[in-house]
Amino acid sequence: MARVYNFSAGPSMLPEKVLKQAQAELLEYGGSGQSVMEMSHRSKWFDAIITDTEATLRRVMNIPDHYKVGFFQGGATQQFAMVPLNFMTTGKADYIVTGNFSNLAAKEAAKFGEAKIVASSKDKNFTYIPDVNAIDYDKDASYIHICQNNTIFGTQYVKVPQVEGVPLVADMSSMILSKPVDVTKYGCIYFGVQKNVAPAGMAIAIVRDDLLGHAADNVPTMMNYTTLLAKDSMYNTPPCWCIYMTGLVLKYLENDIGGLANMQKINEAKAKVLYDYLDGQDFFNNPVEHRYRSTMNVTFTSPAPDLDKKFCAEAADAGFVNLKGHRLVGGMRASIYNAMPAEGIDKLVDFMEKFRKENA
Ligand SMILES: *Cc1c(COP(=O)(O)O)cnc(C)c1O
């Protein structure tokens, strides 16, 4: 069996050790005589799994007690609607648009109230993050929404908005658990799990207590954060397998990696190898303003679109898959999430240099 280096933006690689553990426990979980895929979500085994998964997330991310944690279906995209439905109490909110997903989030919010785009980096094709201190925020905004790492354009925030009395809501889908985050800076953090945590099929939301309980009566039951958060994510059948896998990945982060500070060091070293290579030659180009470069999603182009195509094809043959850039950007994108081994990036850089020599 030859596992490839998968540079997909999501779903993406999972740690091999975790996959092997899931494999070992697939037919029978912990003396239960059944698979996690088969067991009742009300069983004592699953109760232990979900309780432990939440507790581990709280430890790993250092989440204070006055924040609730919930496991939601519908992906990060459903959160785009849940955020305004639950938090837009003044009828308006501020959105910073730094790419595709923050744009979608703003559009969704505009269905429910005034979603004011207070800053955007569209003028330079989303290659930078607007200065968050220079923005004219609305004092009556219910919240400020950002996308902390822009998966498609390969940018990330260096500093996040902090406005007295206005909660910050962040989509962290493509950088969650890649480094420590000060949860207390946020009113709500949400993320789809398929980039950096688990298989596809779930989003996790971390919500500060005081933001809950203000949704209108006609908000659908499953779109109201309180429904799940008041019932420890067990109002109805939760995505059991996804929660189990999340638990395994979190334990791996905690015990094998040694926590998020270590994960950050590893991720920054990995990204540096690729960016240093990109900066040291002039065949491939990364368009992002350097200080906003994403540690997770690295975009680059070759001198011509047909060479990009050739690169992706030859890379796939050599075992580096899913390097094609998003259709909005073109070129290439290497998503180098937590589970991408350093070796995968070293080898990719060797391959890029070989391709450059052959095609320059
Ligand atoms: C992938 C992604 C999404 C969409 O997630 P789904 O779970 O597919 O809905 C939203 N935001 C960001 C930042 C993403 O990277």
Cα(299)–Cα(313) distance, rounded to whole angstroms? Answer: 17
In this predicted structure, what is the pLDDT of residue 2? 85
Q: Are 232 and 275 in contact (CB under 8 A)?
A: no
Report whether residue 336 contacts ligand 1, using a CB cutoff of 6 Å: no
CA 358 / ligand 1 centre spacing (Å) = 36
Cα(117)–Cα(44) distance, rounded to whole angstroms? Answer: 47
Q: Are 162 and 168 in contact (CB under 8 A)?
A: yes
Per-residue pLDDT of 129-186, as tens digits, reads 999 999 999 999 999 999 999 999 999 999 999 999 999 999 999 999 999 999 999 9
Where in 152-290 does DSSP place strands (E)?
155-156, 168-171, 188-192, 203-208
Cα(16)–Cα(340) distance, rounded to whole angstroms? Answer: 10
- Specify the residue with its C-alpha closest to ligand 1, atom 3: 76
Q: Are 120 and 136 in contact (CB under 8 A)?
A: no
Is 194 a known ligand-binding residue? Answer: yes
Indicate the pairing of strand 144-147 with strand 92-97.
Answer: parallel
- Between helix 305-317 and helix 342-359 the angle, nearest 10°, is 130
- Specify the residue with its C-alpha closest to ligand 1, atom 8: 75
If one residue of 173, 204, 297 were mutated to test the ligand 1 pocket, choosing by the most ligand atoms within 8 A of its CB, it would be 173
Q: Taking 90 as the threshold, does the pLDDT of residue 270 lie above it?
A: yes
Report whether residue 77 contacts ligand 1, using a CB cutoff of 6 Å: yes
**DSSP secondary structure of 78-122:** HHHHHHHHHH-TTSEEEEEE-SHHHHHHHHHHTTTSEEEEEEE-G
Report whether residue 331 contacts ligand 1, using a CB cutoff of 6 Å: no
- Specify the residue with its C-alpha closest to ligand 1, atom 14: 173
In this predicted structure, what is the pLDDT of residue 328? 86
Q: Please give the average per-residue pLDDT across 331-351, as a whole number.
A: 98
Per-residue pLDDT of 180-206, as tens digits, reads 999 999 999 999 999 999 999 999 999
In this predicted structure, what is the pLDDT of residue 1? 67
Shortest CA distance to 120 belongs to which of 111, 105, 131?
131
- Domains in the chain, CATH or no CATH each: 19-256 (3.40.640.10), 259-359 (3.90.1150.10)
Residue corresponding to tokens 């494999």: 23
Which alpha helices (DSSP H) does 110-193 contain, by range?
none
Is 236 a known ligand-binding residue? Answer: yes
Shortest CA distance to 234 belongs to which of 54, 26, 12, 71?
71
Report whether residue 75 contacts ligand 1, using a CB cutoff of 6 Å: yes
Q: Please give the average per-residue pLDDT across 65-92, as a whole number.
A: 98
**DSSP secondary structure of 151-170:** TTTTEE-SS---BTTB-EEE
Report whether residue 103 contacts ligand 1, using a CB cutoff of 6 Å: no
Per-residue pLDDT of 21-52, as tens digits, reads 999 999 999 999 999 999 999 999 999 999 99
Report whether residue 10 contacts ligand 1, using a CB cutoff of 6 Å: yes
CA 282 / ligand 1 centre spacing (Å) = 32
Per-residue pLDDT of 206-219, as tens digits, reads 999 999 999 999 99
CA 75 / ligand 1 centre spacing (Å) = 7
C-alpha 175, offset from chain centre: 4
Cα(316)–Cα(141) distance, rounded to whole angstroms? Answer: 47
